[in-house]
Chains A and B, each alone.
Chain A
Amino acid sequence: MSDKTPIRLKVNGRNYDIVVEPRRNLADALREDCGLTGTHLGCEHGVCGACTVLVEGKPVRACLMFALQAQGKPIRTVEGLAERDKLHPMQQAFCDNHGLQCGFCTPGFLMLAVGALEAEPDMSDEDLRHVLSSNLCRCTGYQNILKAVRAAAKEMRGT
């Protein structure tokens, strides 16, 4: 199990040259090998979505993808959302709308929502609800997450 392979991950525009076992999942590689602990593991079986990152722009459960499979593909994590001190509209909207309490599921929701809205800026409210029901939150009851994402969607569209 210990045949390790050198790979290069491209995360948030930066290259990370790491050496991993083939079985290492992307979430562990990001957290342990790249030091990007903003991606959280809530279930490790693909249900909760806390580990959601964007791979080639699409929301992906990082616990269900091997690090090797992500090799060479552009990956975005929560650490890459803000530009220096300026929060991404989605991050700002979560703060403004009390869209988080403990914050553990938040990076997953942020990446899920950003990925979905970048692909489809004019997503209908029904589709938005459908997308956001992919992830679990145990604190907020979801209403403020929905409110935050709606507000950010508006901001991202520039309307």
Chain B
Amino acid sequence: MGAIGQSLRRLEDRPLVTGRGRYAADNHAPGELHMRIVRSPVAFGRLRGVNLRAALAVPGVAAIWTWEDVRQVPPIDFRSPHPALEPFRQTVLAHDYVRYVGEPVAAVFAADAYAAEDAADLVEIDIEELTPYLDPVAEPPDFMPATLPGVRADAAVLRKGYGDIEAAFAQAYAVIELDLAVGRHTGCPMETRGAFASVDAASGVLTMDGTAKAPHFNRRAIAGMMDLPLEMVQFHEGHVGGGFGIRGDVYPEDVIVCLGAWRLKRPVKWVEDRLEHLIAANHSRDQRYRLRAAIDAEGLVLGLDAIIFSDQGAYMRTPALTVPDMACALLPGPYLVPAYRVAAHVRLTNKTPSGTYRAPGRYESTFARERLMDAIAARLGLDLIEVRRHNLIPKSRMPFDRGTDTLGVHVVYDSGDYAALLDRLMDHIKFPALRADLARRKGAGECVGFGLSIFVEKTGLGPADKALIEARPDGTIEIVTGAASVGQGIETAMAQIASEVLGVPIERMTVIHGQTDRIDAGLGAFASRVTVMTGCAVHAAAGALRSKAVEVAASVLKVAPGELSFLQDGVRTPSGTVMPLAEIAAYSLAAGAPLAAEGRFSVDHMNYPYGIHAAVVRVDPGTCGVRVERFVIAYDIGRAVNPMLVEGQLVGAAAQGIGGALYEEFVYDETGQPQATTFADYLMPTLAEVPAIETLVTEDAPSPLNPLGVKGAGEGGITGAGAAIAAAIDDALGRPGAVTRLPVTPVRLNALLTHSTRSTNYS
């Protein structure tokens, strides 16, 4: 009924603009304790002891825990089983060894946050420092030499591929070799992590507020770790101040908060500070790519042979191998690449552990693949657009079997017309005129350049989702989902999908998410899955509700259901009278059951939106600063539920992508000390650095895998940003292949500019 496709204002906004939001830190209860974590100050060492005497004397301290207090708690497990990785799981407090600066060693509980921090400062940790392992390309040492002898800090080697790679190289006209790297980044939501746990004295139920991303999984995991029956543990999601993949995994601190409330019989509140966030919440990216590509004389890639080194940091966290696995599976991207072989080495260094960050494995692999396309163009003297066009998978090959697996599913691109999107982008930016303008400016001495990148995203991870919907006599509709909100606007999107079916305006709808006591299952919000999976479940639920409404109305009116038709917000009889949905709900309730329905959606495959990022940059050779003058995102979403929200996702993601391309990086010194521990070191873009990002959202390739045709929007704004900006910097410098590493900081650019010889990246 026309709600899908409209840029409706969000249902979420009013409490958020009036200061009535309820984020993790906004929870309070009488008698609450504040938790402060004492963290390892060194990157690698043998933990010899912890002295709590002075800390325990601080007024207000209720308890301080070390490993001895939590030794019966099992290590934090993965979201799906990986027996081979079990030795590398993190325990909630360190024992035997500390493996990164920031690792939790002790937990202080005190009546006041200031007192907890005072006491934490007085905890003395005795560590025998050892030489840290910081370069994942170097031979891995033992993970914990004395206690796990022979277990190397080499978590896994992932191998994927298809086609005859040897034959491809045997018939190659030329071989291109590249060595590329993407730095260590994180999502860095504006709200730091936090949690609030309490035990209801009457029911004995433990509740945690402040969960995010995957409340149902987290509840099950933590109940299991605490050996509590599932029904004794409930997780509630309040407002969440950004997620980006890194918030909402099961972290040591979440477990200790719950354990604290359970054992100390008082509510426990934990809110980390920004320094802690930057060294203890998941990092991501930090991959090195060694690519060898066999090409023919026209620039067609015949085979791609890749070795990836993934710097996982100190432990394997809940996403396990998700990031390198997706990098391996999706590296070939939108191109034919008939033969492919990849090996990814996942190494455990003495840095903050890693997890997923928006477009995990794709930001990195797109940078690598698109650098390769630029290198092929440079090597053969081809146009950077034409070389890509030559390699693109044509529409006639859809659905296209990529020949790889990831996240437990085979990768089959469901729909797409990549060449058409490239044409549309070229039209949008008036490419010949843009190029001429840049040539003119270059001629006038300006250091400006253009670059672009093409990518395939993956969204709508299954396998299944469900939603409950109820129409009430007061005219409102409640939709209960197992999804999670990280600020992306899911209430509005879900309500629009239900409104499309029911005709009820979204303002009369309430959308529940992240409440484990309201629905027994839910996967949450990750992998750009909510609009696709939860959205289709809501669509099914609304359809079932509509059928039920017709049945109830038919029995009330004593007519056959087939004589009635559902229209805007009610049921119409053949005589033209209308029974509103609210009235039908009242009849249903009076007859003993609410007017409610359940909807389910399941799917075997992910779907694959695709996009192109184009960037124009200006390099200042004096300061080695790079200004992004123009940034354009072309993205085919299949079908947009709310174009305003889609554009919001794309633009916001692009700003993060620009950050990763030019500013953001976790750097460590040679002793493993993190050098980026404040917002003065980890430089996120401000308005001054982000240009007016242009979006060209198309709906050329709806997904055939779901009834709405929708694909996800959460990640496609960031995926190609690093690659496009790198190419634009090359062009500005007039040195193809100059950029081999992100971010292109002024220091790195200065090194490039003072390097007298041309790049030697091409063999």
A20 to B575: give the CA distance in the assembly, Å.
72
Q: Look across to chain B and name the residue whose beta carbon is closest to the beta carbon of A82.
A: B18
8 Å CB interface, A60-104 against B: 77-79, 81-82, 87, 91, 94-96, 98, 100-104
A37 to B28: give the CA distance in the assembly, Å.
11
Q: How many residues of B contact A (CB 8 A)?
A: 58
Q: Look across to chain A and name the residue whose beta carbon is closest to the beta carbon of B240.
A: A102
Please tell me which stretch of B218-226, B228-236, B607-615, B651-659 contacts chain A, meaning at least 4 of its Cβ atoms lie within 8 angstroms of it.
B651-659
Closest-CB distance, A98 to chain B (whole angstroms) = 5
Determine the chain B residues whose CB is within 8 A of the CB of A42 once the complex forms: 190-192, 274
Determine the chain A residues whose CB is within 8 A of the CB of B635 once the complex forms: none
Q: Look across to chain A and name the residue whose beta carbon is closest to the beta carbon of B686.
A: A133
A141 adjacent to B690 (CB under 8 Å): yes
A129 adjacent to B680 (CB under 8 Å): no
Closest-CB distance, B246 to chain A (whole angstroms) = 11
B418 close to chain A: CB less than 8 A: no
Per-residue CB proximity of A15-47 to B under 8 Å, as 1/0?
A: 000000101100010010000111111111101
A139 to B19: give the CA distance in the assembly, Å.
18
The dominant DSSP class at the A interface is loop
Determine the chain A residues whose CB is within 8 A of the CB of B680 once the complex forms: 45, 47
8 Å CB interface, B165-218 against A: 187-192
The dominant DSSP class at the B interface is loop
B652 adjacent to A140 (CB under 8 Å): yes
A102 adjacent to B679 (CB under 8 Å): no
- The contact of A100 among B13, B22, B240, B651, by CB within 8 Å, is B13
Determine the chain A residues whose CB is within 8 A of the CB of B15 once the complex forms: 103
B561 close to chain A: CB less than 8 A: no
A43 to B188: give the CA distance in the assembly, Å.
11
B114 adjacent to A138 (CB under 8 Å): no
Q: Look across to chain A and name the residue whose beta carbon is closest to the beta carbon of B118.
A: A1
Q: Look across to chain B and name the residue whose beta carbon is closest to the beta carbon of A103.
A: B16
Determine the chain A residues whose CB is within 8 A of the CB of B652 once the complex forms: 101, 138-141
Given A96-B9, A129-B688, A143-B692, the answer on whether A45 and B274 have CB atoms closer than 8 Å is yes
A138 adjacent to B684 (CB under 8 Å): yes
Please tell me which stretch of B49-57, B79-87, B481-489 contacts chain A, meaning at least 4 of its Cβ atoms lie within 8 angstroms of it.
B481-489
A78 adjacent to B19 (CB under 8 Å): yes
Q: Look across to chain B and name the residue whose beta carbon is closest to the beta carbon of A90.
A: B17
B494 close to chain A: CB less than 8 A: no
A21 adjacent to B114 (CB under 8 Å): yes
A103 adjacent to B241 (CB under 8 Å): yes
Determine the chain A residues whose CB is within 8 A of the CB of B648 once the complex forms: 98, 101, 139-140, 144
Determine the chain A residues whose CB is within 8 A of the CB of B163 once the complex forms: none
Per-residue CB proximity of B5-37 to A under 8 Å, as 1/0?
A: 000011011111111111101100000000000
B486 adjacent to A37 (CB under 8 Å): no
Q: Look across to chain B and name the residue whose beta carbon is closest to the beta carbon of A91.
A: B17
- The contact of A144 among B25, B241, B274, B651, by CB within 8 Å, is B651
A42 to B17: give the CA distance in the assembly, Å.
16
A47 adjacent to B651 (CB under 8 Å): no
Closest-CB distance, A13 to chain B (whole angstroms) = 15
Top-7 shortest CB links A-B:
A38-B19, A102-B487, A103-B16, A104-B241, A141-B655, A47-B679, A78-B19
- A contacts, CB < 8 Å to B: 1-2, 21, 23-24, 28, 31, 36-45, 47-48, 50, 77-79, 81-82, 87, 91, 94-96, 98, 100-107, 110, 129-130, 132-146
- B contacts, CB < 8 Å to A: 9-10, 12-23, 25-26, 59, 113-114, 118, 187-192, 239-244, 273-274, 486-489, 644-645, 648, 651-656, 678-680, 684, 686-688, 690, 692-693, 717
25 contacts across the A-B interface (CB closer than 8 A)? A24-B114, A28-B113, A37-B22, A40-B23, A42-B190, A42-B192, A43-B274, A47-B678, A78-B18, A81-B19, A87-B17, A91-B18, A96-B9, A101-B242, A101-B488, A103-B12, A103-B16, A130-B688, A133-B687, A136-B190, A137-B190, A138-B187, A138-B242, A142-B687, A144-B651
A38-B21, A145-B687 known; 16 new pairs, CB 8 Å cut-off, are: A45-B678, A78-B17, A79-B20, A94-B17, A95-B13, A96-B9, A98-B9, A100-B13, A100-B16, A103-B15, A103-B16, A104-B21, A134-B686, A135-B686, A136-B679, A143-B693
